[in-house]
Structure 1
Amino acid sequence: MTAVGQKYGTELEPVEVVDAELVDTAAPGSGEVAVPDPAAAVLAALEADAHDHLNRIRPKKTRDGYARDWQVWKEFHGWLAERTGTPLPLSAVTVGTFVAFVTYLDQVVQAPPNTIERRITGVTSEARSRGHAVPKEATEAARRALKPLKLDESRRKRGRGKAAAIAPADLRKMAEAPRERPPSPTARRRAVLRVPELARLRDQALNSLKLAVAGRNEEMSLLDDAHIQVADEGLKVHVPSVKGRPPRDVPVTYGEHRATCPVRCWTAWQEAKLTAGADPGGPAFLPVDQWGHLGAARLSPDGVGRALARCAQYAGLTGRRITGHSARRGLVTTGIKKGKRVDKLRRQGGWSANSPVFWEYVDEGAMFEDAPTEGIGF
């Protein structure tokens, strides 16, 4: 162990220093061969040791958060590539890409300003830890682009409060909503937004199946075609494990309405997806761009949540906070009102027996069952 390693109580790995200017001694007119500087070896070892040490002492929650920020950075690059036709390297952290990242988080993801600010910090840290240069002016430009957003009251309210439950009736409104949406009076672009048919079929299948299995965004993103088997009674769905939670196998029966029946919506999307060129046995849900082109990579967890929120917006379901958890809450509250067994609802969504969130949903669904004011003479 070197003296530096003894001081810090850690073993420094030997560092091989290669001088790019070494000259072949046999070449005519060559000078002396450069001798590696021992100090350079120690400095390089200190740099590597410091990087590892700082990463080890960083709280796990912070490490996980920065890793998630980097995943969102990847999703932004995928979104950008779909619209420009040119994929950019993840190392390209410039004024242009970082300001576009802020705009993407604000207008596409509709993230609150404090989340955007955290994403900027996380991406900057992760990029530098991976050896990518992040110019100071790029970070400063991103924060300048964020500054007016932080002053907007409607943006600051994003993400506040609990997710509202959605019911099958809400899904029908989403499925039957107009596929054309005029621009808002304050929009910069005055073009009419049209939902491609392929995206409409994907969203119907995604949203109805999400409610049926009480799926988390991450679970729906990880679903493959092989996880969804068609049976006489409906579908057998293997929901994969996420974040250490156990996987689960759940039944999904036929629905009463074609537009929201998870079985018929899934088969219609599957047929359309394969016709569009998707690989059989690949991801269950794929991105679809504004021109109706099918993507190759699986739909991201954020994409799953945005699909539900966007459909709710098109259907006019305003005034409620529709998020990825709305389907999970909705299955329990609706199931309790319809007299479904609590244990089966819990297993369908993969909640633990003592989950306080699950029992909160149960209480919400049973709120008016034998209510204290019922039948007392009012």
Structure 2
Amino acid sequence: MSTPDTTAPAPETPAVGAALDVAPAGAAGVPAARQGLSPTAQAAVAAGIPKETERGYNGDWKRFKAWALAVDRCPLPCTGETLTEYVTWLTLTPRPRTGQPYKPASIDRAMASIVVAHQAAEYPPPDQTGARLVLKGYTAELKRTKDPRGRVAKAAAATPAVLRRMAAATDRTTAIGIRDMAALLNGFALAARRSEAALLDWEDVVETEEKGLAYDIYRPKVNSDQPVDVPYGTYPSTCPVRAMKAWARCLLEHGRPLTGPIFLRIDRHGRIAHPMTRGGKPIGDPDGRMTGEAIGDVVTRAAKRAGLTKAPDDLLPDLPARWTGHALRRGYAVASRQAKKDPIEAARHGGWVDGSKAFAGYHDRAGMWDEELNPLYGIGL
């Protein structure tokens, strides 16, 4: 480890709400306070950070701050040398939970949290040149040695063929089964992230006579509302419109008005949006709204019921499948390519920005066996 930072720290701005646990002025190892953002402005900035990102950044920042103070370095503001030392430490130090150092993607997020903390405190971010070189070398070594940590973990693709298997294994005579199919099929049709599906309200959807459902879906990652039309499906078992109407009828039969959140939690006794407590205190959304994690669990459980233990990938059929909430979004991208839909329109329907690398990766991979695109077809092999 190199010698401690001797750079004189500048005064610090208070934390930006709860978005990052940037220690207040006067805390150990933190410079004295100066005038900065008001509490109102702090809360306003914090509101601009998605909740899932906020939770991840908070944990990353706390770990960095603890490491910095333990090795007698200043966490805020920190120098480029401190950041490089920290990234080097992350590549070498086993995590208590896994017994292995961090994956490259986790280190990249940790660096992002440090940058955000500096921006929140109105400091220029540290120089990332050295840290990026360390991360680049670490990633290359993991790939060279075929270390699984060097692979980007991707959700399996829940294509229509997969959804048909999930539907066949789901009991649609129960409230849970009806809700789960509505979530699965409409999550696919909207190419919704799990957080987007969780935010849907009945006020966001309108039935269009004889055509289907018109949604106004909020996509937090790109901070935009988007109109998306979902037509009736060809097959009743996987029709998102029929599935949603079945869920609406189920709620009405249980005396639930079609207002507020669409997807509601259901306990093991079949009670819809039943109040939850822990230690005598209410927990969970008071309206019964499912969390994004719960939406992801719907996908995982449906795949387990259908016996989908392997990824339905023609190239790598023996890889274990990762059935997460993102499987619906990836499945939509793959299916749109297989159906030869216009990639620009397909991406826009799913809320990807024009030129999205993520969408292109899913879309292009799905076309690898297309004779019009694969350059090896017809060249005389």
TMscore range, shorter length: 0.5 to 0.7
- The residue number in structure 2 matching 1:209 is 186
Q: What amino acid does structure 2 have at the position aligned with 1:205? A: A
Given that 1:196 and 1:292 are in contact with CA atoms closer than 8 Å, whether structure 2 keeps it comes out as no
Are 1:50 and 2:40 matched, yes or no? no
**What is the aligned counterpart of 1:252 among 230, 233, 258?**
230
For residue 363 of structure 1, report the CA deviation from its aligned partner.
0.5
For residue 49 of structure 1, report the CA deviation from its aligned partner.
4.2
What does residue range 1-378 of structure 1 map to in structure 2 within 5 Å? 49-50=25-26, 68=55, 113=97, 161-177=153-169, 179=171, 197-231=174-208, 232-295=210-273, 296-319=287-310, 320-369=321-370, 370=372, 371-376=374-379
For residue 377 of structure 1, report the CA deviation from its aligned partner.
5.1
For residue 251 of structure 1, report the CA deviation from its aligned partner.
1.1
For residue 10 of structure 1, report the CA deviation from its aligned partner.
8.1
Distance 1:51 1:286 in 2: 42
For residue 197 of structure 1, report the CA deviation from its aligned partner.
0.4
> Judging changes above 3 Å, is the alpha-carbon distance between structure 1 residues 64 and 282 closer, same or farther for their aligned structure 2 residues?
closer
Distance 2:13 2:164 in 1: 63
Q: Deviations over 1:120-141 (max 9, x none)?
A: xxxxxxxxxxxxxxxxxxxxxx
Q: What amino acid does structure 1 have at the position aligned with 2:234? A: E
For residue 64 of structure 1, report the CA deviation from its aligned partner.
6.5
What secondary structure, in the 3-state scheme, does the structure 2 residue paired with 1:299 have?
Answer: coil
Distance 2:56 2:194 in 1: 16
Q: Deviations over 1:61-94 (max 9, x none)?
A: x9977953799xxxxxxxxxxxxxxxxxxxxxxx
- State, as a whole percentage, how many aligned pairs show the same letter: 31
What secondary structure, in the 3-state scheme, does the structure 1 residue paired with 2:309 have?
Answer: coil
Structure of larger gyration radius: 1
For residue 245 of structure 1, report the CA deviation from its aligned partner.
2.4
Distance 1:316 1:361 in 2: 24
For residue 335 of structure 1, report the CA deviation from its aligned partner.
1.0
> Judging changes above 3 Å, is the alpha-carbon distance between structure 1 residues 113 and 315 closer, same or farther for their aligned structure 2 residues?
farther
- The residue number in structure 1 matching 2:39 is none
Given that 2:164 and 2:237 are in contact with CA atoms closer than 8 Å, whether structure 1 keeps it comes out as yes
For residue 277 of structure 1, report the CA deviation from its aligned partner.
2.8
For residue 333 of structure 1, report the CA deviation from its aligned partner.
1.2
Q: What 5-or-longer segments of structure 1 have no aligned partner? A: 1-7, 13-46, 72-111, 119-155, 180-194
For residue 278 of structure 1, report the CA deviation from its aligned partner.
2.4
For residue 11 of structure 1, report the CA deviation from its aligned partner.
11
> Judging changes above 3 Å, is the alpha-carbon distance between structure 1 residues 70 and 294 closer, same or farther for their aligned structure 2 residues?
farther
- The residue number in structure 2 matching 1:38 is none
Distance 2:168 2:303 in 1: 11
> Judging changes above 3 Å, is the alpha-carbon distance between structure 1 residues 65 and 240 closer, same or farther for their aligned structure 2 residues?
closer
What secondary structure, in the 3-state scheme, does the structure 1 residue paired with 2:355 have?
Answer: coil
Distance 2:50 2:156 in 1: 30
For residue 374 of structure 1, report the CA deviation from its aligned partner.
2.6
Given that 2:50 and 2:220 are in contact with CA atoms closer than 8 Å, whether structure 1 keeps it comes out as no
For residue 250 of structure 1, report the CA deviation from its aligned partner.
0.9
Q: What 5-or-longer segments of structure 2 have no aligned partner? A: 1-9, 15-22, 37-45, 59-95, 103-147, 274-286, 311-320
Distance 2:13 2:217 in 1: 44
Q: What amino acid does structure 2 have at the position aligned with 1:282? A: G
Distance 1:66 1:372 in 2: 40
Given that 1:196 and 1:291 are in contact with CA atoms closer than 8 Å, whether structure 2 keeps it comes out as no
What secondary structure, in the 3-state scheme, does the structure 2 residue paired with 1:240 have?
Answer: strand
Given that 2:205 and 2:215 are in contact with CA atoms closer than 8 Å, whether structure 1 keeps it comes out as yes
Q: Deviations over 1:223-281 (max 9, x none)?
A: 00011111121111111131452121111111122221000000000110122232322
For residue 283 of structure 1, report the CA deviation from its aligned partner.
0.3
What secondary structure, in the 3-state scheme, does the structure 1 residue paired with 2:227 have?
Answer: strand
Given that 1:196 and 1:290 are in contact with CA atoms closer than 8 Å, whether structure 2 keeps it comes out as no
Given that 1:333 and 1:362 are in contact with CA atoms closer than 8 Å, whether structure 2 keeps it comes out as yes
Distance 2:50 2:219 in 1: 21
What secondary structure, in the 3-state scheme, does the structure 1 residue paired with 2:26 have?
Answer: helix
Q: What amino acid does structure 2 have at the position aligned with 1:313? A: K
Q: What amino acid does structure 1 have at the position aligned with 2:238? A: T
Distance 2:297 2:195 in 1: 13
What secondary structure, in the 3-state scheme, does the structure 2 residue paired with 1:363 have?
Answer: helix
For residue 375 of structure 1, report the CA deviation from its aligned partner.
3.5
Query: Per residue, is there more helix in 1 or in 2?
Result: 1
Q: Deviations over 1:187-214 (max 9, x none)?
A: xxxxxxxx97000000100000011010
Q: What amino acid does structure 2 have at the position aligned with 1:374? A: Y
